Amino acid sequence: MQSSTFSVPFVFDANTNQLSSCNQVPDYISCLNEEQRLAVETTEGPLLVLAGAGTGKTRVLVSRIAHIIATTKAKPHEILVTTFTNKAAREMKERVKDTTGPVANSLSWIGTFHALSARILRNHTSYVGLQPDFAILSAEEQVHLLKKLIESANLDEKRWPAKLLASIINEWKNKGLDEHSISNLEAQHYLFGGKAKQLYAAYQARLSEHNAVDYGDLLSLVVRIWKQDPNILAEYQSKFRYILVDEYQDTNIVQYLWLKLLAIKSKNIACVGDDDQSIYGWRGAEVTNILRFEQNFPGAKVILLKRNYRSTSNILNSASYLISHNKNRLPKDLFSDRVSSEDDEKVSVCCATSSKEEARSIGTLIELLRQKGQPYSQVAILVRTSSQMKEFEDRFISIGIPYRILGGPKFYDRAEIKDALAYFRCTVRPYDNLSFERILGTPKRGLGKATLQKMHALAKQEGYSTMEAAEAIAISSMVYPKTRASLLELINKLKKWHSLACNTPVAELSSIILDESGYIDMLKRESTPESEIRLDNLKELVRSAADYDSLSNFLESTALITGNESNPSNEDSVNIMTIHAAKGLEFDTVFLPGWEEGLFPHQRALNDKQSGLEEERRLAYVGLTRARKTAMIWFTSSRRVQGYWQASTPSRFLGELSQAHASFAAISPIQTEISHTNVYTQMHKNNLLKPGRVDSHIMSREGSPDTNNDLKVGTRVFSKTFGYGTTIKAAGHNNMKILFDTAGYKTIRNSYIEPV
């Protein structure tokens, strides 16, 4: 896309609330194409910008913010912008700064729905029976809490999994339903029976006891306040004169209600999104929001961005043809801005015999690309499931290709960070039971299950918090003196830190806590490379704590911000990530391995009716459109899934690529250098002309009952995948290690082989 660097020097004086030097015709307009300019200049009334992949969505939003500030009388703090992640919000703010100058600093309402809602909710806590310092429950804590409630309701955890209950509650909150509708949810009906409603009531009661909300509440409470009190709503309606929404296809129903209430007065709502890139349906995103925009916001203008600046026409056309197989979408006609030339390669489809070979071939290709001057960082491997990553890691380590995994374990997900935060939270809020239970046994101090059980019993009996119960036990004779002393020591430390909290700098306080708790010592004693990293992470945590003026403010920010900047190594390295994590990114070369039925589209999505398949197809579309110049799709003829070897059928999506823009058999110049990939033979062998044929008994693990349990060692057997072989030894209940005549040693399910 155009790379003009310019700056419109707006100055916003917060004292006088005046914006100066904004009467010049700003330059940001001139670098937009006609479609984009229309989207930027239509500042009044509801607007939907339907932007295909690579059409400059963010540029439109950024320019629009600049335009609104320049041409209307709106102040930056009267503009509300929602983004999908915190990271996107930061990046958007940076880009606005590049375009409008220092005025971006006054753009204070830009962030995720959750972050914005938390701010709004803090002003009206009494309205919904909360204290202003309410805590925000993380997903993990939510499951933990539900687990405990299920336990105390004497339900069998195996049959009533907390995770399932959590997903039901979340789904239902995302849909903006209230407690009366929980009984309508099909899933809870047969899984939880009448108990779900009780469990939910207990859950919500526990939340308010703890002065906490979960992520769903954050939004729905704001919606509830706005619905119930017209005065409060009116206040926000006039406060936010312009509303901009990024990634509109990923909003859920509550977020729609939220926007609708807020925008109903000014009608100045502009949403940017692409229905074809909606890949988060499984967590509540509602594509219908974008499909029905014109009905939901009467008088809406819809602008389609069709000019794609990213991909070559072969890639774009393949992707467009693929996505045209979806029924539930708004048709678009994207065209590539790139002048077709010799390096407009077709999308190539290649086959390997196993995931190992797949990784080996792709590794070789990457090395060749590198020799031809392509930096590693311009190469991405986009997988459907994270389990596919390991094969590539192994291979890359052995041949020395530097790589990085994006969207891997997040900083705040690391055990040591969570432990540290749990210590901090106990210090600040002594009634935080979850955190207290987390720190009890880390580092080891002779406190465990038995002691915890006693605390629980006492807490329940006396209505204490866990820490109060611990204190009572520490001065009673309910436990051994050794346990008592250890417990007392912990409690005294927590009390000491609590008293330090108000007049000690945050960074100092946090390092005192980590030190005195023995946590640092524990890691130092380990002295493994692993523990070195952990110590570094803790140092990093202490460093970032220094930016806050109180420990509780620091904790507040960590509840909403998950640092997903993955290891910012400056080394030129290949990017490995899931397709989900690749959303919004682009690379010169993209490898898409594992296009096989059952893996991509994923079996779980296939079981899940038509909408599941369509979302998988959108995912394929997103994957393909990440590529600028080269896209290479791979599939294998057999793959080890969950430890078992399975014959695989090429993905039905391969048959949905446009023949004119994808080459199934034609071999690109680089590929000819790989001798062991015989595309032709494999294509025939795998019956690629009829993609989508699934051998259901092979793909599904539960498909057929396990027979052949009486197989003896040394028996000759036959497998559809590997041919003839001899059993070597039993491996677990229903598996056998077999030496195949041609395929070598494999461990497979007994049901996949038959004696001959």
Partner DNA sequence: GAGGAATTGATTTTT
Partner DNA sequence: TCAATTCCTC
Which residues participate in catalysis according to the annotation? Answer: 57-58, 246-247, 277, 626
Taking Cα atoms as reference points, which of 31, 15, 28 lies closest to residue 75?
15
Smallest gap from residue 407 Cβ to DNA (A): 5
Does residue 363 sit in helix, strand or coil?
Answer: helix
Which of 172/297 has CB closer to DNA? Answer: 172
- Using the rule CB under 7 A, is 640 a contact of DNA? yes
Minimal distance, residue 65 CB to DNA, in Å = 20
Site map for DNA, 215-234, x if CB under 7 A? x-------------------
The stretch near DNA (CB under 7 A) out of 121-129, 305-313, 455-463, 635-643 is: 635-643
Residues 483-512 that bind DNA (CB under 7 A): 483
* Binding range to DNA, per CB under 7 A, among 355-363, 385-393, 455-463, 653-661: 385-393
User: Using CB under 7 A, which of 257, 541, 560, 631 touches DNA?
Assistant: 560
* Residue (86 or 727) nearer to DNA, CB: 86
Q: Binder to DNA among 449, 481, 503, 756 (CB under 7 A)?
A: 449
* Of 42-50, 83-91, 240-248, 630-638: span binding DNA (CB under 7 A): 83-91
Three-state SS string over 294-348 comes to HHHCCCCEEEEECEECCCCHHHHHHHHHHHCCCCCCCCCCCEECCCCCCCCCCEE
Among 106, 320, 378, 451, contact with DNA (rule: CB under 7 A): 451
The minimum distance between CB 600 and DNA, in angstroms, equals 9
How far apart, in Å, do the first and last CA atoms of the chain sit?
63
Nearest CB to DNA, comparing residues 114 and 652: 114
Phi, psi of 175 (to 5 degrees): -90, 0
- With CB under 7 A as the contact rule, the residue among 4, 154, 158, 714 that binds DNA is 158
Cα–Cα distance between 655 and 693 in angstroms, integer? 11
Q: Is 632 within 8 Å of 365 (Cβ atoms)?
A: yes
Q: Kindly state whether residue 581 participates in binding DNA, applying the rule CB under 7 A.
A: yes
Whether the CB-CB separation of 53 and 274 falls below 8 Å is answered with yes
138 binds DNA (CB under 7 A): yes
- Identify any residues that bridge with 271 across adjacent strands, giving them in sequence order: 48, 245
Q: Which is nearer to DNA, 295 or 642 (CB)?
A: 642
238, containing H or E segment: helix 230-239
Looking at 268, 289, 578, 625, which residue binds DNA (CB under 7 A)?
578
- Nearest CA to 725 out of 697, 685, 753, 751 is that of 753
> Shortest distance, CB of residue 86 to DNA, whole angstroms?
4
> Is 562 one of the binding residues for DNA (CB under 7 A)?
yes
HSE-up of residue 603 (Cα within 13 Å, Cβ side): 15
Please check whether residue 116 is in contact with residue 86, taking contact to mean a CB–CB distance below 8 angstroms.
no
H or E segment and range at residue 65:
helix 57-71
CB of 5 to DNA, least distance (A): 28
Contact between 402 and DNA by CB under 7 A: the answer reads no
Nearer Cβ to DNA (138/435):
138
Classified as helix, coil or strand, 746 is strand
Please tell me the distance from the alpha carbon of residue 288 to that of residue 41, in angstroms, as a whole number: 26
SS (H, E, C) 426-471: HHHCCCCHHHHHHHHCCCCCCCCHHHHHHHHHHHHHHCCCHHHHHH
Task: Give the single-character DSSP code of 665.
Answer: S
Largest CA distance in the chain: 90
Regarding 407 and contact with DNA (CB under 7 A), the answer is yes
Q: Which stretch binds DNA (CB under 7 A): 289-297, 339-347, 442-450, 493-501?
A: 442-450
Nearest distance, CB of residue 72 and DNA, angstroms: 29
Rounded to whole angstroms, the Cα distance separating 619 from 630 reads: 18
> In the bound complex, what is the minimum distance in angstroms from residue 480's beta carbon to DNA?
9
* Position 119 contacts DNA (CB under 7 A): no
Residues 243 and 269: beta-carbon distance below 8 Å:
yes
Spell out the residues 6+ positions from residue 423 whose beta carbon is closer than 8 angstroms to its own. Answer: 435, 439, 513, 514, 517, 519
- Looking at the DSSP bridge assignments, the partners of residue 591 are 381, 632
Q: Is 349 in the site for DNA (CB under 7 A)?
A: no
- Residue placing its CB nearer to DNA in the complex, 119 or 267: 119
d(CA 308, CA 310): 6
**Closest CB to DNA among 67 and 395?**
395
Which among 257-265, 423-431, 446-454, 505-513 is the span making contact with DNA, rule CB under 7 A?
Answer: 446-454
CA distances (Å), origin 744, targets 394, 739, 747:
21, 5, 10
Tell whether residue 735 is a contact of DNA (CB under 7 A).
yes
Output the smallest distance, CB 566 to DNA, in A: 9
Rule CB under 7 A: which of 250-309 touch DNA?
279, 282-283
CB of 605 to DNA, least distance (A): 4
Q: How far is the CB of 162 from DNA (least distance, A)?
A: 10
Binding mask 465-484 for DNA (x = CB under 7 A): ------------------x-
139 binds DNA (CB under 7 A): yes
- Least distance (Å) between residue 305 CB and DNA: 24
Query: Of 399, 450, 475, 533, which lies in the binding site for DNA, with binding defined by CB under 7 A?
Result: 450
Binding status of residue 689 toward DNA by CB under 7 A: no
Q: Rule CB under 7 A: choose which of 387, 398, 678, 687 binds DNA.
A: 387
Determine if 153 is a binding residue for DNA (CB under 7 A). no
Rule CB under 7 A: is residue 386 a binding residue for DNA?
Answer: yes
Determine the Cα–Cα distance for residues 430 and 450; give it in Å rounded to an integer: 21
Residue 39 contacts DNA per CB under 7 A:
no
Q: Which of 3, 126, 231, 642: binder of DNA (CB under 7 A)?
A: 642
DSSP strand pairing (744-749 vs 735-740): antiparallel
- Does 356 help bind DNA (rule: CB under 7 A)? no
Considering the rule CB under 7 A, would residue 604 count as an interface residue with DNA?
Answer: yes
User: Look-up: residue for tokens 């062998």?
Assistant: 685
**What does residue 627 show for φ and ψ, rounded to 5 degrees?**
-85, 135
Which of 291, 300, 292, 307 minimizes the C-alpha distance to 267?
Answer: 300
- In three-state secondary structure terms, 396 is helix
Contact 423, 464 (CB under 8 A): no
Binding residue (CB under 7 A) for DNA from 608, 655, 668, 715? 608
* 115 touches DNA by CB under 7 A: yes
With both helix axes pointing from N to C terminus, report the angle between 195-209 and 139-152 in degrees, rounded to the nearest 10.
120
457: contact with DNA by CB under 7 A: no
The secondary structure of 600-656, three-state, reads CCEHHHHCCHHHHHHHHHHHHHHHHCCEEEEEEEEEECEEEECCEEEECCECHHHHH
Determine, following the binding rule CB under 7 A, whether residue 159 of this chain makes contact with DNA: no
Stretch that binds DNA, among 9-17, 55-63, 81-89, 691-699 (CB under 7 A): 81-89
Helix (H, G, I), strand (E, B) or coil at 415: helix
Which span sits near DNA by CB under 7 A: 110-118, 123-131, 311-319, 675-683? 110-118
Taking CB under 7 A as the binding criterion, the range among 188-196, 346-354, 358-366, 604-612 that sits at the site for DNA is: 604-612
Residue 351 vs 577, nearer CB to DNA: 577
Q: Which residues bind DNA (CB under 7 A)?
A: 84-87, 112, 114-115, 138-139, 158, 215, 279, 282-283, 384-387, 407, 410, 441, 444, 446-451, 483, 560-562, 564, 577-578, 580-581, 602, 604-605, 608, 612, 616, 640, 642-644, 731-732, 735, 747
